[in-house]
Amino acid sequence: MALSVFSSRSKVINLVFNDQYIRYVELKQSTPPVPLRWGEKKLSPGMISDGKIVDFDTLSMVIDECIQDWKINKREVRFIVPDSIVIIRKLSIPSDIAVDEINSYIYLELGATIHLPFEHAVFDTVIMSKAGEKQEIILFAAPEKNVLEYSDLLSEAKLKPIAADISPLANYRLFSAATDELEKANAILVQFDTHLVSMTIFEGAFPLFLRHLSIELNDWLNPDAMSVQQDGVGQVNELNYQFEDVYKEISKLMDFYTYSFTQGKKMIEQIAVNGDHPLFERILAEMGERFTIPVKPITYDGSLHAEMEEFPRSYYLGLGLGLKEVK
């Protein structure tokens, strides 16, 4: 699925930002592409908050360190816009608006017939269907100020930003690389990270809704371990409550899609899960027990390339971003 078209480029650096870290993935240009190098820089609290850059100057110094450590000076880069500032909407517009005029139409209608929770937006669109006098499009939007800050951050560090993307599309590409199931199904893709859970409804290749829920990674949960340091029943219960809130939110989103959005005509048929939460396997198992539809992890088969060390799940988003131009 090509929502934006960029020319084919080799060894572009793929960057993922969130409140806790910056991660990069560089792909070897092969068929399929193979992760060549990857790395992470943890961020001090307050540099990025809710996906928005707060301390630009300090973050700029961190980017400079990353460039030196990762040896990516003056490289072209793609980056993922944090989910917490992204809006996805399905819109109906007149069918006589040509493809190359849709974005201009959206720009003119913002604030009039199309309303977003921010005044100035950067956006992209893709046509979903066309029938009679109407065509259905998907609108992807984010606050212009916040997206341009990421672009400026990279440009000032002598990197060359060529594309911005969103995590649901990166996850979709990665899952679709292994199976064509999503192209035939109505599904929810869940990105379950340590501090944020994002849930996106897909109809085939088209994302319709994006919801996110903040969670806390408690001090007593070791982010590098796969278990809870159980030194108190209350602590374990707190973790259980957080997970239960997430599962309830997924159920609500499924019900909204079935009963409100499609008036009972369609239902969610599959859940695909990715993320870097240290209890990912437990989360996957609990979701499998709770929901009656298939729950599957988004995977990458590194065994296809014997020379490669195990590729960590925490870098899957960067890998999916790197598949942006793969046909």
Peptide bond into 32 cis (omega under 30): yes
Look up residue 308 and give its amino acid.
M
Whether residue 7 lies inside any domain: the answer is: no
Proportion of the chain above pLDDT 70, given as a percent: 86
- On whether residue 5 sits in a domain, the answer given is no
Q: What is the pLDDT of residue 302?
A: 60
69 and 140 belong to one structural domain: no
**144 confidence band (pLDDT: 50, 70, 90):** very high
Asked if residue 254 and residue 174 are part of one domain, the reply reads yes
Angle in degrees, CA 276, 138, 130, rounded to 5: 140
Would you say residue 138 lies in a domain? yes
Residues 229 and 199 in one domain: yes
Do residues 114 and 139 share a domain? yes
State whether 165 and 220 are in the same domain.
yes
CA distance 103 to 183: 26
Structural domain includes residue 8: no
Among 46-60, 140-154, 249-263, 297-311, the minimum mean pLDDT is found in 297-311
Give the model's pLDDT for residue 183. 67
Query: Does residue 199 lie in a domain region?
Result: yes
User: CATH number, domain at 100?
Assistant: 3.30.1490
Q: What percent of the chain has pLDDT over 90?
A: 74
Phi and psi, residue 234, nearest 5°? -60, -40
Number of other CB atoms surrounding residue 150 within 10 Å: 24
Handedness of CA 153, 156, 157, 162 (dihedral sign): positive
Global pTM?
Answer: 0.88
Q: Tell me, yes or no, whether 160 and 269 share the same domain.
A: yes
98 and 239 assigned to the same domain = no
Domains held by the chain: number:
2
**Which pLDDT tens digit goes with each residue over 164-206?**
999 999 999 988 877 766 667 899 999 999 899 999 999 999 9
Relative to beta strand 34-42, strand 48-49 is unpaired
Domain residue limits at 241 = 13-84+145-322
Residue that finishes a domain, picked among 144, 166, 191: 144
Where is the domain boundary, 129, 144, 159?
144
CATH (domain of 73): 3.30.420.40
